[in-house]
Structure 1
Amino acid sequence: MSTAQTQASGAAAPDVAHLPDPPGPPGRVSVLRALRFGRNPLQAVERLQRNYGDVVMSRLGPRRLYVLSHPDLVRDVLVTHNRNFIKSFALQRARVLLGEGLLTSEGDFHLRQRRLSQPAFHRDRVAAMAGTMAGYAEDAANRWRAGMEVDATREMNRLTLAIAGMTLLGVDVEGEADEIGRSLTAALGLFDRLHNPLAPLLDRLPVPGTLRMRAARQRLDATIYRAIAERRASAEPRDDLLGMLLAARDEEGDGGGMTDLQLRDELLTLFLAGHETTANALAWTWHLLALHPDAEARLHGELRTALAGRVPTAADYPALPFTRAILAESMRLHPPAWTVGREPLQDFEAGGYRIRAGSIVLTSPWILHHDPRWWGGDADAFRPERWLAPDFEASLPRFAYFPFGGGPRKCIGEGFAWMEGVLALATLARRWRLRHAPGAAVVPKPGITLRATGLRMRVEPV
């Protein structure tokens, strides 16, 4: 019987107290170590896995931190024993911004909200949104001019923000995209200090970062609540996410719908997650294409053949396998959600070691996506063609690749993200290529997502 099953049945949890602690760096509890981790978490998790293996224990301030870096261990946490885990301390703190949305809520409430939200992401609904996705991407393509210099990360955020505004809220926010984008960036500053042991104190003090985050929340709330109020006042049914959530009733539960606060939490969560992750994937994709002109040329060839110069539709998605492969490889090398954190409710066993309740357990797509055990000697190379090999994905261990997480809390918008990413890339790349501007210095910025900073690029016609 699993840990989760024993917990659910009321039986005693398996005795793992006799198991040894995992290996890890020596030293006492250190606030300084936690601050160093927060400054460069990518290098920190890489170093832990490289020096100590697939199960590592370290300290993050006063808490134990475990990093699990094998697909079987990821499966145990996200799937097999998922009921023994809640979201990590970092995401629990994210309730300051997101409230009780799908990303942060737990237990029966989370299951109820996911039931109410799930129909909005059915494949037929996603296909119906494809025109909006490609339409906004074409608007972006029309704004670009040969020789102009753009910040590719900012451009992709602006694009996906406009798509999210229309498909989720039914609101055209393109005119407000820069202002809303700045608010979202400021709000994400909350996550920049998630690993700071002093963060709960900083959240209560009127320091500049906290004041910026509060102002950003107020700005975002204004957009969300305005959309809710306008829709409640309108008798016109709409087929976007907001319309579906307003009409949804929990037939398996109490038969009720969502309050304005519940709607706000879900919409803000999806608004944030639904644009930020896809924007990052697309930004990193432009960076990689500029470094690999052979793959870029093959992409342009596929687009010429499949689209013949027109804007893609949902029906074109199956005819764009290399476009999808490019996006898949980009998310392998630069996973937008670079780490997945959980907190165990009870002690459990991982790789023959004891993992203690109340600790921080990290699994990292960044680590597993670069592991030569699953990806071979070219694990760090950009090779989108690998995804076209017959049965390639089926041959991978289940959690060697998990850019959207896994288990019951797998990203609800995965199908939406694939459709949006492929159609946006196809729409823009059929007309334009991007090249790094002179002096551009691209640096990954790991927060709750993995942003590309310094991505200044020059627009060139295909």
Structure 2
Amino acid sequence: MTQDIFELPGPEGNSIVGSLLDFGRDPLGFLTKCANEYGDIVPIRLGLTPACLLTNPNYIEQVLKDTNLFVKSRSLHALKTLLGEGIITSEGDSWFRQRRLMQPVFHQKRITSYGDIMVAYTEQMLDTWQDGESRDVHREMMRLTLNIVMKTIFNRDLSEGQAQDVAHALDVTSDWFESKRQQNFIFLEWFPRPENIRYKNAIKQMDKTIYEIISQRRASGENPGDLLSMLMVARDEEDGSQMSDRQLRDEIATLMLAGHETTSNTLTGAWILLSQYPEVRTQLLAELQQVLGGRSPTIADLPNLRYTDMVIKETMRVFPPVYNMARKAAQDCEIGGYQVPQDCTIIMSQWVMHRNPRYFQDPEVFKPERWANNLEKNLPRGVYFPFGDGPRICIGKSFALMEAVLLLATIAQKFELNLVPDHPIVPQASITLRPAFGVKVTLKQNTGVRSQSVI
């Protein structure tokens, strides 16, 4: 006979709201404490919502594989005002059709054509940097990756007014989601609070911008080879249908949020860790000098930038850009022989699993070399999953990894970034894992390294 998960030991919490306040105040600390103190499946009560945390990789793999039984959770549905029925939020047949339509857009050969854009925009940014000055590198990375995603989606530069509207909407969304977390995830969008009004107005302006661009593109019939063009011509292989303007808008909003936020946070994490571990930075520079010799990196260099790739993998382990994933049980079911009720929220935390000492020796230490000898393939599924797993694994994974390695290589060749002393580095669990107070660094130009622009 299977055991009900709520008969298992877990945090007691408040008699009225359970562990909602603890989770809302400090999600990372709360989930880590649960993982350390309890078993493979930890029952948690979040207000009126029954929930559980999974710390067994086999259970995590089971949930991420079965997209019919385990569907998207309530907290992600709160982003539907921004993302609509995009590939992240949609379910069932709608998701499957959109995924099928978008898959060719992210074919490896297609995304490699964006490598030169990524490097060129990075070098434009570096031209504005000066030796000895201080910058908020998180803000710099956010702007750079948004520049790149706007160019690859729309073939437009961020300096243009329309692109600024999009950037503003994404900033407001992150602030709005964080305010909801502080209010213990009470998503009352209709209530006329100032943050709700700002959020809705920003989305309205962003929608106006996106629909204008779609309309202009349809009227002109141009095909500049950007992602918008690819999405517009994509046809369903089964019924020949194409995306409506609304579907295009939802997928574009999804690509803009997912396509810049996670990469910028990964790169920000890399600069934090490289400043704290100078021996890793020395080894990274040695590889860059050996492979590139001061020239700009290209797609062709990626197979040889192995240590650079390991720095990115290890950064995503220590600071996973997505710290937490949640699903909801669509019906009563079993996980690992335990009975899970319908509507139970199932939490799987990259922050917890990526720092699990059962799978990573010295998990608090930044050691890129741990990824040598195919560690990622040798780990059980459900241990390291920065891009999720199963059928709903991030469709832009290859794009993001390529971008992170190229940007890291381009910047690290020219500048050393050192953390400003006493500036607090506090991970904030919002839509993604981001630094609560930015990351202030002092720039030090690497002498003797001259790069040749790809432009």
Q: TM-score, normalised by structure 1?
A: 0.92
How far residue 394 of structure 1 moved from its aligned partner, in angstroms, is 2.4
Tell me the distance in 2 between the aligned counterparts of 1:217 and 1:247.
26
Q: Residue 107 of structure 1 corresponds to which residue in structure 2?
A: 92
2:365 aligned partner: 381
Q: Provide the rounded CA distance (Å) in 1 between the counterparts of 2:42 and 2:15.
A: 16
- Give the whole-Å Cα distance in 2 for the aligned partners of 1:233 and 1:46: 53
1:235 aligns with 2:235: no
Instruction: State which of 421, 424, 430 in structure 1 corresponds to 2:407.
Output: 424
Counterpart residue identity of residue 409, structure 1? R
Structure 1 gap segments, 5+ residues each? 1-14
Name the structure 2 match of 1:276.
Answer: 261
Deviation at 1:170, TM superposition (A): 1.9
Per-residue CA deviations over 1:102-125 (Å, capped at 9, x if unaligned) read 110000010111111111111101
2:417 to 416, 425, 434: 434
SS at match of 1:373: coil
- Aligned residue for 1:459, secondary structure, equals strand
1:152 aligns with 2:137: yes
Closer, same or farther in 2 for the Cα pair 1:68/1:17, shift >3 Å?
A: closer
Q: Do the aligned residues in 1 keep the contact of 2:5 with 2:43 (CA within 8 Å)? A: no
- Kept in 2, the 8 Å contact 1:30–1:60? The answer is no
1:68 corresponding residue in structure 2: 54
Alignment of 1:187-226 (within 5 A): 187-192=173-178, 193=180, 196=183, 199-201=186-188, 203-226=189-212
The answer on 1:350 being equivalent to 2:335 is yes
**1 CA distance for matches of 2:274 and 2:5?**
48
- Worse-superposed segment, 391-400 or 158-167: 391-400
Distance 1:32 1:175 in 2: 48
- Given that residues 387 and 393 in structure 1 are in contact (C-alpha distance below 8 angstroms), is that contact kept between their aligned partners in structure 2? yes
Question: Take 1:175 and 1:439, find their aligned partners in 2: how far apart are those partners?
Answer: 36
Q: Kindly indicate whether the alpha-carbon contact (under 8 Å) linking 2:18 and 2:44 is maintained by their aligned counterparts in 1.
A: no
Residues 405, 205 of structure 1: alpha-carbon distance in 2 compared, 3 angstrom cutoff: same
Q: CA deviation at 1:175?
A: 5.0
In the alignment, what sits opposite 2:10?
24
Cα offsets for 1:34-89 (capped at 9, x unmatched): 2331121111111111121221011111011100011111101001x332011011
Q: For the residues of structure 2 that align with 1:287 and 1:227, how far apart are their CA atoms?
A: 37
* 8 Å CA contact 1:168, 1:241 repeated in 2: yes
Per the alignment, do residues 24 and 459 of structure 1 end up closer, same or farther by CA in structure 2, a change over 3 Å counting?
Answer: same
Match of 1:6 in 2: none
Residues 117-167 of structure 1: CA deviation (Å, up to 9, x unaligned): 111111101111101111111111111111111111110000000010011
- One-letter amino acid of the structure 2 residue matched with residue 199 of structure 1: I
Matched AA of 2:388: G
Q: Is 1:121 aligned to residue 106 of structure 2?
A: yes
* Partner SS, residue 44 of structure 2: strand
| One-letter identity of the residue aligned with 2:329 | P
Q: Which position in structure 1 is the counterpart of 2:314?
A: 329
Closer, same or farther: CA 444–284 of 1 in aligned 2, 3 Å: same
Q: Is the 8 A contact 1:22 1:353 kept in 2?
A: no
> How many angstroms apart in 2 are the aligned matches of 1:300 and 1:198?
43
Matching residue of 2:451: none
Quick one: distance in 1 between partners of 2:327 and 2:228? 29
Offset, 1:439? 2.8
1:5 matched to which residue of 2?
none
Worse overlay, 109-118 or 231-240: 231-240
Distance in 2 between the 1:55 and 1:157 partners? 36
TM-score normalised to structure 2 length: 0.93
1:151-170 to 2 correspondences below 5 Å: 151-170=136-155
Return closer, same or farther for 1:333/1:180 CA change in 2, 3 Å cut-off.
Answer: same
Relative to structure 1, the CA distance from residue 195 to residue 151 in structure 2 (aligned partners, 3 Å threshold; closer, same or farther) is: closer
Measured after TM superposition, the shift of residue 190 of structure 1 is 3.4
| Contact 2:387 2:397 survives alignment (8 Å) | yes
Between the aligned partners of 2:103 and 2:345, the Cα distance in structure 1 is 29
CA contact (8 A) 2:274 2:280 kept: yes
Q: 1:82 is paired with a residue of what secondary structure? A: coil
Per-residue CA deviation, residues 165-206 of structure 1 (Å, 9 max, x unaligned), is 0112222124567764443121123322258566233x1111
Could you report, residue by residue, the CA deviation over 1:199-255 in whole angstroms, capped at 9, with x for unpaired residues? 233x11111110121122123223322321221122222322110110011122x32
Equivalenced residue count is 443
Aligned-partner Cα distance in 1 for 2:134–2:311? 23
1:123 corresponds to which letter in structure 2?
Q
Q: Does 1:296 align with 2:269?
A: no
Structure 1 pair 29–109 and aligned structure 2 pair: CA distance change class (3 A): farther
- Secondary structure at the aligned position of 2:7 is classed as coil
Corresponding residue for 1:317?
Answer: 302
1:379 alignment partner AA: P
CA deviation digits over 1:295-340, x for unaligned, max 9?
1011111111111211111111111111111010000001001111
Q: Deviations over 1:6-44 (max 9, x none)?
A: xxxxxxxxx957676332122565337423311211111
CA distance in 1, matches of 2:426, 2:4: 44
Report what 1:262 is aligned to: 247
Q: Which residue pairs with 2:426 in the alignment?
A: 443
| Match in the other structure for 1:305 | 290
Task: Tell me the distance in 2 between the aligned counterparts of 1:198 and 1:158.
Answer: 28
Q: CA RMSD in A?
A: 1.9
Give the whole-Å Cα distance in 1 for the aligned partners of 2:156 and 2:212.
Answer: 10
Consecutive unaligned residues of structure 2, counting only runs of 5 or more, are 447-455
The answer to whether the Cα contact below 8 Å between 1:31 and 1:197 also exists between their aligned partners in 2 is no
**In 2, are the aligned partners of 1:20 and 1:353 still within 8 Å (CA)?**
no
Q: 1:173 to 1:373 in 2, by over 3 A?
A: same
In 1: Cα distance, 2:142 partner to 2:185 partner: 30
Q: State whether residues 5 and 41 of structure 2, in contact with CA within 8 Å, keep that contact through their aligned partners in structure 1.
A: no
- The reply on whether 1:86 has 2:71 as its aligned counterpart is yes
Structure 2 residue 172 is matched with structure 1 residue 186 = yes
